[in-house]
Homo-oligomer: A and B are copies of this chain.
Amino acid sequence: MSRVDEILSWYDSDAPGVQRNLRWILESGKLAGTGKLVLLPVDQGFEHGPTSSFGPNPAAYDPHYHFRLAIDAGCSAYAAPLGSLQAGAREFAGQIPTILKLNSSDSLFSGDDPKPAVTGSVSEALRLGCAAVGFTIYPGSAARNEMYAELREIAEQARAVGLAVVGWSYPQGSALSSAGETALDIVAYAAQIAAQLGAHIIKVKPPSAHIERADALAVFEEQSVPIDTLEDRVRHVVQSAFNGRRIVIFSGGATKSSEEVLSEITSLAAGGAFGSILGRNTFQRPRDEAIALLDAVMQTYRRAA
């Protein structure tokens, strides 16, 4: 059994249409067939504003730029909100799997307990020929339950029409300290919640060595769970998503040097990450640099496959 078939076997309660679309993602781009994946997400125009997102590389103001970048770099899929996807859906129809983000937050209003607006629908994803829908939840927010319920319902709708579901699970809210947002135990918990809500692919942030909750700390110590290195911690997060039976990928976060990106990816890959989702670290670089960096990232994952 190929690695892709093995991964798809974890989703065997879902309809074949879901597996067709998961396979599309797993068989696209330079990592096709490896069971690893690297996604290009471009929701930063909505999340952080166009100026700070695209200003560093003005070609990126154009939605076609990102489709082209994702295709040329050999990404496994391209994820974006409705407007961006729609601006290139016909031109690039079927050239790369697309993921329609169904909710988004903007930065013009912020509170302690974030909740994104619903900005897309499953029927739009079908119309636009997407492979999957994406949805963000903020465990730790006072508004978490509404988000969980929304994700669950969207996941049910998506599965019924054969679309895969990608869950962005980012702990944040009044219940968490700032360090807690990336604490190992919390990131692991966030991955578990997304898995429970029906996400097929789960996106989390790389976990720090901070432990937010005493009960988790006690277990790590009692069981002598290694958590010192990022590789160790990634292993725990992947384990927390159904013992590796769900595809868990890691976000790249704010812009940093290529060395930093690759160093982190090396640890993620070593820890068993299924891949990465890199936005600002790619499209805010000049195109050639971005493609070179993505190629190095993909080679790293390929070696770990």
Contact = CB atoms under 8 A, between A and B. Distances in A.
A216 B49 contact: yes
**Which bucket holds chain A's interface residue count?**
35 or more
Contacts of A17: 93, 126-130
A82 interface: yes
A114 to B, nearest CB: 10
Contacts of A94: 19-24, 27
A129 B162 contact: yes
A182 B121 CA distance: 31
B83 A198 contact: yes
A260 interface: no
A171 interface: yes
A54 B223 CA distance: 11
Contact of A15 (B19, B46, B83, B128): B128
Identify which of A23, A160, A192 gathers the most chain B CB atoms within 10 Å of its CB: A192
A62 interface: yes
Interface stretch (A71-79, A137-145, A286-294): A137-145
Interface stretch (A6-14, A264-272, A295-303): A6-14
B242 A61 contact: yes
Contact of A222 (B56, B175, B195): B56
A50 B161 CA distance: 30
Given A93-B8, A127-B161, A51 B149 contact: no
Interface string A80-121: 011110111111011100000000101111110001111111
B196 A84 contact: yes
B49 A127 contact: no
A145 B129 contact: no
A17 B100 CA distance: 12
B62 A109 contact: no
A129 B20 contact: yes
Contact of A109 (B46, B65, B144, B245): B144
A152 B123 CA distance: 12
A104 B16 contact: no
Contact of A189 (B106, B116, B199): B106
A86 B198 contact: yes
A220 B49 CA distance: 13
Given A56-B223, A121-B152, 11 more contacts: A21-B129, A22-B94, A49-B216, A55-B219, A62-B242, A62-B243, A65-B243, A82-B196, A106-B144, A108-B176, A118-B145
